[in-house]
Structure 1
């Protein structure tokens, strides 16, 4: 029986395979933003609505707080939802 039970399991397995081949960084689209806190929340919501997590594996890859309550964050997603 296959060890794949959920779409997330398949995604993790595929990510491990891509990482082992050294091509994981090429498969995702990334965009970095530096916005005031509320604008950052709105931008993240926009990305999750436009690129649903289940289809595009969208996530906030990293974030940090900058002076002036500005949030710098990187959004990551797959280029297509096949």
Structure 2
């Protein structure tokens, strides 16, 4: 009696996909992040530039974190999706 071949084993493919996802995202999630340290007025311009280039509605753009440093400098991290869907 001939044996009917079944679907190929999927475990190796699953491991390969998981490894690729870990390497690609490496703890960063799916967002593009960039940190700046600028004078207050320049920091506002830079944040506005990000919102103009990558609108919040399409790219989920946001100021992820910020803090005030000596000399009225602002350190902040902008975050957005790499592309709009």
Q: Under a length normalisation based on structure 2, what TM-score does the superposition of the two structures give? A: 0.68
SS at match of 2:34: strand
SS at match of 1:27: coil
Map of 2:31 onto structure 1: 28
Give unmatched runs, 5+ long, in structure 1: 1-21
SS at match of 2:28: helix
CA distance in 1, matches of 2:37, 2:71: 11
Give unmatched runs, 5+ long, in structure 2: 1-21
Structure whose alpha-carbon radius of gyration is higher? 2
Aligned length: 61
Map of 1:59 onto structure 2: 62
CA RMSD after TM alignment: 1.6
The one of 46, 50, 60 equivalent to 1:47 is: 50
